[in-house]
Structure 1
């Protein structure tokens, strides 16, 4: 009986899933399967030459689910919505994003294989993997493919993936560390004994040695080398075999080939009783590689510590206030609008708003802000911050992946996973370099075997092994990711988050730094100085109209109106609000259209010319850094609001530092020229570099002009209000608080209020790129000299092992210097 169904499993008859290919070629036709179990059974039947089974059967077979490994069965739990709340971010209607841990990664080729394989799955939108932390950021369409299917697909190519969990990653690190130490310890112990035998053999070549003694020493070395290859070198064999199965040449392929060739050649020499043996080189090679990978593992652990420190801020339990009293509940069970009690010394469990109490809160690990912040009723509390003084009651506003802490972690993970251009180039070179090395080693072996010593001699073996070993491009693959990961972690400690892969690379090359004024060089916490020019309207009524117009805005000016202590009663209802970014806004109140903004905006909308009055007010009142806002309708101007701001901490230090580096500074602002010039004078910005009363499109046009002249422009501004200008710069930095993280599209976000941290961030970016260049130059120069010397036979296998190991170790240790960067 022949059974065929387009939408059912050809093996067992169950429904076949859509969006993932589990088919098997049976009788030259792709037959659909419902699961990996049926696929495995069907493929086994075909491989055994029993495909005619499907022609002869008279009913469907039993499902193959029972052959699915327990690990794969457990993956389906990750599709449950309640479980996904803890680690999955909803980025669109059906699009989701998750951070995964990958087990089995040993080199850049592993990264390349996983990225290419996962990206090719139907429904996967994007994937980026960080080599240093072995973490992957995967974005997929949940209507096309499920997370469990992605995890299952990864298992098919020999790797294991699961959602990122700090505790689990620490367990994996610890498990890997202990296993590495066991392998390294045995390799050192046996290798030392082999070296003792080798020393006796080397001295025997000088002073003579009995052939029988020599044979005993060779045989003993062979016996000690076997456990080194069978146990200590197991990771090399597993990785190399996995790469070969998937037609890739990873970095463990030349290592494994070198070990095999040197071991078989040595066994042949022992059997013949003559020729060179390389047991000492094998043991030394394995020992050095294991030692370097152990140091690399510890370096990866250190790079993950900054992220883990943020994760550890999140408490497991919270005190929930219910009608029945206080109740300790897991944080994951909290819901929006729940009431929570936070005692002194406790961490805030999730984001919320204070409804009772007053205290100081430490947000230093989140934002890098060293000062404790005073919090009162209606102030926002960030999950993970620490309550210092008094008990607080809070209403929960955000949970799970919607919290500020989760947003920060997601940004860190994405930044660490993305690769700048220089890293992508290094990866491409490294993956192709392995192929070149393997073919070069074959060519060298044939040349020496045919034209020099002949294959009967074993001298060619040492040269081939040296070529395979000395040129292994581990250093090239480690050069960029090690430095980038440490730098991003270091920047997060000072409150500077990286959002895009090119940010550090471009920031280091920027020669023009353009600043906005309000909220950037100034604190952006505007306060009322006075209200003047009130005509036919009470001061309170003017404030009420202005506040009603500003109630839906995020601009610092709006916050000044909304936080005004004067009692203006209940906010008026406003219809048809229109906001012109950087100028002003309008709205209809009780049938009357009102306009609120700077003098130019009022003139454009109403025809009323107020610029001379504004200049007169500023000069007469000697107001520094003042912002003038006018309220008018179509008939006349009713009020002028004067708001004062203060220069942000560290602004002058940052400007002076950039100028000392030879960077050009320009100030672009929409505020009145007099107030902008006053701020510029205090900060030491040249008058000709100050441009005031600019609309957003004017700022963008100015940036374009600089870029056309060949300048690389870094724009520093308000993350939301300066969005068009930030998008137009080659690299942009937003002055953001946590609530703006999801909204801003800037390349970098400074979470705290101290601009000195930005100075430190620029310094770290410069040092990072300098270290990356040092690592790449070292790796290239090393191989440039090592390859010819190995080909000419001047490099012994043991020396090649030392050279390759020290090259990789240099790159890792050089990158670790960034942990102390200031």
Structure 2
């Protein structure tokens, strides 16, 4: 670029040799700085290039408090339509990408600035994924206000776009790697000149030669200070502009002080130089930061894997079954009822049902199951599942945007936004730590000015350099992020940030029965009729009432009725009463189907006596004229139920079984599993009241449930788990979703919680002890600046490496998961009635 070129965005001169540019209107346009490049690229990428054709002048760069004109383009109705509205239509919720995040202090700074924007209701920035979620009032705030506020504190933000966000992450990683490389090269070259000076004794090196080596060290230090150290100076400047003390402030001051003192000594000819310490400190700290970046990428890898799992296109069979021809279409265009061909190795584009062929399906990405499972005609498949063996034809049941995988991506994105209390506490401690450190460094400088002025400057630098607020701030979020990523790979989706903290403190674990401790797939064993219609009619009438129900017992009746001869019956005026049953009209008869007490209200008479030794789950059918039928359903225990109960009892947790099923059935299940407290015939409000009573007594309650009637108690529990195969409403209100559908995942989560808290304690202990020992040692002159730099970098590295241990899935857990999946599939096959 020429020296006389002007920035196409703001009109300022473009520095000679700069490479910033954006392609606008099929031509590369020069930009004066990365800030203008970022804004211009945002405008182009969002289809708003017409701004440059219609503008009457360049963008203002003088008053940053004003909203730049180009940011107002995000306020147009077309762009605003992308943001979801809720309630009265004024509440918006959107996801943004933020460039340049370095640590938890950046997150705190951005969130604090946005919290002051009028109309902004909620702000959460995920340091691992660099995604900003903002909720605001449309009548008080515009997207341009949000983007401008982020720019004010030194960061570039733009509406989230997955492709651009990934490209930006890769670019940031490459830039940091270049900075590490330059710093390392400078350090090695400077040490080549510094070591001979250190080794030389009095008189063995000429003063002119020593001076020459100083000047050579200065020249070799310049790239490290003015290129590699830029992230620290930019971060510190952004902190100071926002009147906040982040972790970059003491780092930047330490580098500037050491380099400035060395520069003064070189020009004046007197005093010590610290070029080797400066380059080593920059290199080691950048290595630590690069390691932290890799840890954040790994912690966010579960989300990235899910985002890339959904295919962009699909082979649609437009005229199936008459014509088996296929055409490639974008997956987003698929609609309910479309037929698609899924070849071996391809992912299912959206939730659907197999209509032709049989194959093995790899669900490892969604559920954590390591082995492909057999599926045939009639089986449902979630979007994102991979076809492992044979080609199949799938009928689409849901659009891509409503598929299982899309839902999981949204849940994981939501999970990463909020921060647990431990992280918030660590951020506050780190902020106060930086403030105290700066005051202490100034005090130490003046103290040594009085004791020995020649040592005041290097000791003050050593104090600034040796301290490690990074370790304090990274101790908790790095461990939680690593543990969360591990759990996702084990089929456990942590939706709320407090799960691991709260689960660690749990005193009571409450289980639902159907679909939780049992397989949730009861089968009809017998139908007993008490009137003249016939058992087949009773079964078809029950199926008609249950047609719209998601309860596992309903599926058993519907599946059994489908095997009966005769046309299906139709029910009207159906009313559902949670936890009790359904009432409706079938062929002119008002029927009730459900629990004994519920049906008895209509019949006005006690039910027929149950046979001696009866152990099934009865579902009753009756009218105002009397009892019609009893349906006997049985459900098998999950293969891992005993081990999970034993796990919590071994950890001295009080295990309780709450079920809406009959007390006799509930007590039998509890006895088989060794659960001491079992309460049956519990309605949703009774379950809720029971859990709330426990909490009033000081208990910390974990609830594991499945089904619509568990939604209220899942929300009320201190920490809650919903089985992956359960009702969507239950999963929405749960803190954790067991994607694997396996009960052992609850024990896996508990084990991960214990290990995570142990690692956090180790990290906090290490960070505290290190600072308690290193800072006083530097203050009394026992550590010089280069040793301080090594200590500070190693301290951060130890914390991150220790946290990354949590990503490893124990081999015993993998073997247990495979065994449980195989056993449960075998149990389901044995359950199917002949």
TM-score band, normalised by the shorter chain?
A: 0.7 to 0.9
Q: Cα gap change, 1:202/1:369 in structure 2, threshold over 3 Å: closer, same or farther? A: closer
Report if aligned partners of 1:361, 1:387 keep a CA contact under 8 Å in 2: yes
Q: Does 1:557 align with 2:553?
A: yes
Report if aligned partners of 1:75, 1:151 keep a CA contact under 8 Å in 2: no
Shift of 1:804: 0.9
Question: 1:391-449 CA distances to partner (integer Å, 9 max, x unpaired)?
Answer: 43334343343221111112112222321111110011112222222222223223333
Shift of 1:153: 4.3
Q: Tell me, what secondary structure is at the counterpart of 2:124?
A: strand
Report if aligned partners of 1:99, 1:413 keep a CA contact under 8 Å in 2: no
Aligned to 2:528: 532
Q: Tell me, what secondary structure is at the counterpart of 1:340?
A: strand
Aligned to 2:580: 583
Aligned to 1:441: 441
Q: Does 1:654 align with 2:644?
A: yes
Q: Does 1:750 align with 2:747?
A: no
| Among 595, 598, 602, the residue aligned to 1:598 | 595
Aligned to 1:4: none
Report if aligned partners of 2:721, 2:736 keep a CA contact under 8 Å in 1: yes
Q: Tell me, what secondary structure is at the counterpart of 2:326?
A: strand
Alignment of 1:354-365 (within 5 A): 354-365=354-365
- CA distance in 1: counterparts of 2:381 and 2:309, whole angstroms: 14
Q: Cα gap change, 1:360/1:783 in structure 2, threshold over 3 Å: closer, same or farther? A: same
Report if aligned partners of 2:527, 2:535 keep a CA contact under 8 Å in 1: yes
Q: Does 1:222 align with 2:218?
A: yes
Report if aligned partners of 1:738, 1:751 keep a CA contact under 8 Å in 2: no
- CA distance in 2: counterparts of 1:46 and 1:224, whole angstroms: 37
Shift of 1:234: 1.5
Shift of 1:145: 4.8
Alignment of 1:753-792 (within 5 A): 753-792=741-780
Aligned to 1:641: 631
- CA distance in 1: counterparts of 2:64 and 2:645, whole angstroms: 72
Q: Cα gap change, 1:94/1:645 in structure 2, threshold over 3 Å: closer, same or farther? A: farther
Aligned to 2:414: 414
Q: Cα gap change, 1:620/1:235 in structure 2, threshold over 3 Å: closer, same or farther? A: closer
Report if aligned partners of 2:722, 2:730 keep a CA contact under 8 Å in 1: no
Question: RMSD over aligned Cα, in angstroms?
Answer: 3.1
Q: Tell me, what secondary structure is at the counterpart of 1:628?
A: strand
Shift of 1:229: 0.8
Alignment of 1:691-706 (within 5 A): 691-706=679-694
- CA distance in 1: counterparts of 2:104 and 2:127, whole angstroms: 7
**Structure 1 portions without partners, runs of 5+:** 1-33, 48-63
Question: 1:661-680 CA distances to partner (integer Å, 9 max, x unpaired)?
Answer: 22221111121222222222
Shift of 1:819: 1.2
- CA distance in 2: counterparts of 1:244 and 1:780, whole angstroms: 26
Q: Does 1:493 align with 2:481?
A: no
Q: Tell me, what secondary structure is at the counterpart of 2:732?
A: coil
| Among 657, 667, 680, the residue aligned to 2:670 | 680
Q: Tell me, what secondary structure is at the counterpart of 1:440?
A: helix
| Among 602, 618, 621, the residue aligned to 1:631 | 621
- CA distance in 1: counterparts of 2:689 and 2:605, whole angstroms: 27
Q: Does 1:213 align with 2:209?
A: yes
Report if aligned partners of 1:79, 1:147 keep a CA contact under 8 Å in 2: no
Q: Tell me, what secondary structure is at the counterpart of 1:563?
A: helix
- CA distance in 2: counterparts of 1:205 and 1:246, whole angstroms: 49
Question: 1:581-610 CA distances to partner (integer Å, 9 max, x unpaired)?
Answer: 222222234554322112233345544323
| Among 175, 184, 207, the residue aligned to 1:188 | 184
Q: Cα gap change, 1:211/1:803 in structure 2, threshold over 3 Å: closer, same or farther? A: same
Aligned to 2:253: 257
Q: Tell me, what secondary structure is at the counterpart of 1:312?
A: helix
Report if aligned partners of 2:277, 2:786 keep a CA contact under 8 Å in 1: yes
Q: Does 1:735 align with 2:732?
A: no
Q: Does 1:666 align with 2:656?
A: yes
Aligned to 2:807: 819
Aligned to 2:605: 608
Query: How does the TM-score come out when normalised to structure 1?
Result: 0.85
- CA distance in 2: counterparts of 1:363 and 1:276, whole angstroms: 63
- CA distance in 1: counterparts of 2:499 and 2:63, whole angstroms: 53
- CA distance in 2: counterparts of 1:304 and 1:42, whole angstroms: 37
Report if aligned partners of 1:317, 1:349 keep a CA contact under 8 Å in 2: yes
Q: Does 1:469 align with 2:465?
A: yes
Q: Cα gap change, 1:802/1:139 in structure 2, threshold over 3 Å: closer, same or farther? A: same
Question: 1:248-295 CA distances to partner (integer Å, 9 max, x unpaired)?
Answer: 222111111111111221222223322222212111111111111111
Report if aligned partners of 1:407, 1:742 keep a CA contact under 8 Å in 2: no
Alignment of 1:54-73 (within 5 A): none
Aligned to 1:9: none
Report if aligned partners of 1:733, 1:746 keep a CA contact under 8 Å in 2: yes
Range 470-479 or range 189-198, more displaced: 189-198
- CA distance in 2: counterparts of 1:730 and 1:90, whole angstroms: 30
Question: 1:173-212 CA distances to partner (integer Å, 9 max, x unpaired)?
Answer: 4323332232222222221232233222323356664433
- CA distance in 2: counterparts of 1:743 and 1:474, whole angstroms: 36
Q: Cα gap change, 1:539/1:588 in structure 2, threshold over 3 Å: closer, same or farther? A: same
Aligned to 1:273: 269
Aligned residues: 753
Q: Does 1:404 align with 2:404?
A: yes
Range 401-410 or range 213-222, more displaced: 213-222
Aligned to 1:7: none
Q: Tell me, what secondary structure is at the counterpart of 1:275?
A: coil
Shift of 1:108: 1.6
Report if aligned partners of 2:332, 2:400 keep a CA contact under 8 Å in 1: yes
Report if aligned partners of 1:79, 1:148 keep a CA contact under 8 Å in 2: no
Question: 1:143-179 CA distances to partner (integer Å, 9 max, x unpaired)?
Answer: 6655566445433432223455555444334323332
Aligned to 2:815: none
Aligned to 2:172: 176
- CA distance in 2: counterparts of 1:112 and 1:168, whole angstroms: 24
Report if aligned partners of 1:317, 1:329 keep a CA contact under 8 Å in 2: yes
- CA distance in 2: counterparts of 1:238 and 1:395, whole angstroms: 54
Q: Tell me, what secondary structure is at the counterpart of 1:732?
A: strand
- CA distance in 2: counterparts of 1:286 and 1:803, whole angstroms: 13
Aligned to 1:800: 788
Report if aligned partners of 1:100, 1:136 keep a CA contact under 8 Å in 2: yes
Q: Tell me, what secondary structure is at the counterpart of 2:488?
A: helix
Report if aligned partners of 2:239, 2:249 keep a CA contact under 8 Å in 1: yes
Q: Does 1:718 align with 2:717?
A: no
Report if aligned partners of 2:618, 2:633 keep a CA contact under 8 Å in 1: yes
Q: Cα gap change, 1:303/1:790 in structure 2, threshold over 3 Å: closer, same or farther? A: same
Shift of 1:90: 6.5
Aligned to 2:13: none
Q: Does 1:460 align with 2:440?
A: no
Report if aligned partners of 2:478, 2:803 keep a CA contact under 8 Å in 1: yes
Q: Cα gap change, 1:96/1:361 in structure 2, threshold over 3 Å: closer, same or farther? A: farther
- CA distance in 2: counterparts of 1:528 and 1:511, whole angstroms: 37
**Structure 2 portions without partners, runs of 5+:** 1-50, 811-834
Q: Does 1:139 align with 2:129?
A: no
Aligned to 2:328: 328
Report if aligned partners of 1:351, 1:398 keep a CA contact under 8 Å in 2: yes
Shift of 1:571: 4.7
Q: Cα gap change, 1:661/1:40 in structure 2, threshold over 3 Å: closer, same or farther? A: farther
Report if aligned partners of 2:475, 2:760 keep a CA contact under 8 Å in 1: yes
- CA distance in 2: counterparts of 1:791 and 1:719, whole angstroms: 61
Q: Tell me, what secondary structure is at the counterpart of 1:734?
A: strand
Q: Cα gap change, 1:43/1:416 in structure 2, threshold over 3 Å: closer, same or farther? A: closer
